[in-house]
Amino acid sequence: MTVALPPARYDSPGKIVRFYDQMLEKLRRLPGVSAAAICNNAPFDHNEWDSSFHITGTPPDSPGKEPVSEMAIVSPDYFRALGTQILRGRDFGPADVSGHPATAVIDELAAQKFFPGTDPIGRQIDDPVTTGDSNEKPIPVTIVGIVPHTRNNAPGDKVDVRNLPMMYFSASQFAKPEQVLNPNSLVAPIKEQIATLDHDQAVTEIATMEENIGDSLASRRLTMTLLGVFAGLALALASIGLYGVMALIVTQRTRELGIRFALGANRRDVLRLVLGQGAVLVGLGLAAGLLGAFVASRALRSVLYNVASLDTAALIGALLALSLVAFVACFLPARRASLVDPIEALRME
């Protein structure tokens, strides 16, 4: 849920920090709450905040060449609430408040991209949060921890294509009037606790993290559902077509099959003959489809996340499914061919 404090009543960082600290303290006491946290740029919340910054102690960056990262201001329990582990260093703590040295936690992508071959713990960056005023001297922010890189935007978002790293700052040091917290199933109690602090304070955009993730994937799920339906129809049409071709072949070769029976061929030989011809058609189709899959994989690469463009398991599964359907489509005409009465077949002429 989103809590946006009105600037008229919360006109100083101290008031903002005090409200959110008191709010979180009340929410942690609610039955069923294991962790409560705020964040002004939560995953899948349709917000975007990225900024350039400068690594303290390095030469000035050329205009347009500054390092860029996505930013988020969070409270100390944020990573625990999302189930994100601290890979190295530490989380934000009681000492990371206004009046103390500013701290930040970065993700492993930021560590690899901005501090290659070095330990970023203890390194400093110039404060990218409050340096909008060019006359204001940048505040050094010390990196104290590293967390895993997590997706912060819906698949296909323009910012996601850039794969920006993440930097997190303490909400007790960098006050922002609008914050987001994950309500789970405690909407009514949370609203009541917020009302005890400010009965005029509105709470909006109520949803669980699972719902936000679902909303971010809704259009793609619809697309994939439609693709699945059309793929099923294509498979059904291909099966019917293959069955029709094999049935036509059997009908056209009825006299030939009757002669084979008359000359001593058994039903197993005829079944193997017809299935073999069907297998040739199926093999050619699978080879052409596999080649098409390799070509299409290049076009699909830009819309896949954590999935290889050539997914071996998916290809093998598709080949097995198509082979099974094709076998059934070929077996029925082949079985009918093996039941041909040679006398009736010869009488057809």
The Cβ of residue 284 has, within 10 Å, a number of other Cβ atoms equal to 10
pLDDT at 61: 81
Sorted by sequence, the CB contacts under 8 Å of residue 11 that are 6+ apart come out as: none
pLDDT at 163: 67
pLDDT at 160: 47
Question: Across the strands, what pairs with 3?
Answer: 179
- H or E stretch including 244? helix 209-252
Residue pointed to by tokens 């949060």:
129
Going 243 to 246 to 248 to 251, the CA torsion angle's sign is negative
**Cα 284–Cα 289–Cα 294 angle in degrees, nearest 5:** 130
Strand 68-74 vs strand 88-89: parallel, antiparallel, or unpaired? unpaired
| pTM score, whole prediction | 0.61
Sorted by sequence, the CB contacts under 8 Å of residue 144 that are 6+ apart come out as: 89, 90, 92, 96, 103, 104, 105, 121
pLDDT at 107: 93
Q: What is the pLDDT of residues 168-211, one digit of tens each?
A: 999 888 877 777 766 655 777 778 788 888 887 877 777 777 77
- In total, the chain counts a number of residues equal to 349
Residue pointed to by tokens 């690899």:
112
Mean pLDDT (10-residue bins), the chain, 349 residues: 86 88 88 86 75 86 84 88 90 86 92 91 81 61 92 59 79 80 68 81 76 75 88 86 80 76 79 83 86 78 64 82 83 78 63
The Cβ of residue 217 has, within 10 Å, a number of other Cβ atoms equal to 15
| Residue (of 175, 171, 170, 178) closest to 201 by Cα position | 178
Domain residue spans in the chain? 2-207, 218-347
